[in-house]
Amino acid sequence: MSQGSQLIQDNFRDNRLPHIWCPGCGHGIITRAIAQAIDNLNLDKDKVCVVSGIGCSSRATGYLNFNTLHTTHGRALAFATGIKLARPELKVIVITGDGDATAIGGNHLIHSARRNIDITTVLFNNKIYGMTGGQSSPATPYHEKGTTSPYGTIDPDFDICKLAIGAGATYVARSTAYHVPQLTKHIQKAIAHKGFSLVEAISGCPTYYGRKNKKGDAVDLMHFYKDYALDVKMAEKVDPEKREGKFLIGEFANEERAEYVDEYMKIVERLRQEGSQDE
């Protein structure tokens, strides 16, 4: 028998629930926000393809009831590029994590952004490698702990949104598992956007990140995001001392630029015409 809210019944493989994520993990909240965004946009479910890599975040494709592809570590964007070029009519959504997308998959991320291919990436940033036991990732904040950095990591962390903008992404936003309505709105805009879009969704990992860094349980992490997130529009108005220690959420980029599949199809069309003239 189907269980759960209408949204869950319509968009999830509810016979796979409950999911494997730890108690209080933000990934479930973000996955629901993705389903809500797709639902709000009224997309044909057969025209949605969700692709993921490897890691806690990438388990999401097992639960979402669309065309789904669970691929290899870091390579979700490479598979997604192939899908988009073969079937441009599909809405391709990539679900990836901070380790998956910025470490082993870093190159795929920057080049997908550079190409401005019409793919939406939702990056679940829990700031640690959860699945393999809490190793620090490129998104683990400077001087914070993981099992591979017991004295605090001395590797500065990536600002993933700035990285995506620098590489050429045309829609970039950040939200958290606490700020669900904003997160849903950003994902919705990202899916509707033509070109490469990235939404960084900050997720709480109470099991490793929270515990290793003595940041408390799931509720404490949610309070942290509530108290320390500052909207980018507000940030310009508030006093500098109030910005201290806070991180920015909101929309960082929203622009138009030539899209990769369009450009590719233009070449195909041009060569076709040139070929027919030769005959």
Partner 1 sequence: MAKVKTKKMVKTIPEWCKACGICVAFCPVKILKLENDKIVVTDQEKCTNCMLCEMRCPDYAIYLEEQE
| Cβ-based nearer residue to partner 1, 16 or 242 | 16
**Axis crossing angle, helix 106-115 with helix 76-86, rounded to the nearest 10:** 30
CA dist list (Å): 108 to 67, 88, 100, 145? 22, 19, 10, 27
What residues line the site for partner 1 (CB under 8 A)? 3-6, 8, 12, 17-19, 21-29, 32-33, 177-178, 180-181, 206, 217-219, 222-223
d(CA 184, CA 37): 5
Q: Give me the sheet containing 171-176, strands edge to edge.
A: 67-70, 48-52, 91-97, 119-125, 197-202, 171-176, 247-254, 229-231
**In the complex, least distance from residue 18 CB atom to partner 1, rounded to whole angstroms:** 4
| Cβ-based nearer residue to partner 1, 71 or 207 | 207
**In the complex, least distance from residue 88 CB atom to partner 1, rounded to whole angstroms:** 33
**In the complex, least distance from residue 218 CB atom to partner 1, rounded to whole angstroms:** 4
**In the complex, least distance from residue 255 CB atom to partner 1, rounded to whole angstroms:** 30
| Cβ-based nearer residue to partner 1, 90 or 222 | 222
d(CA 115, CA 169): 8
3-class DSSP state for residue 232?
helix
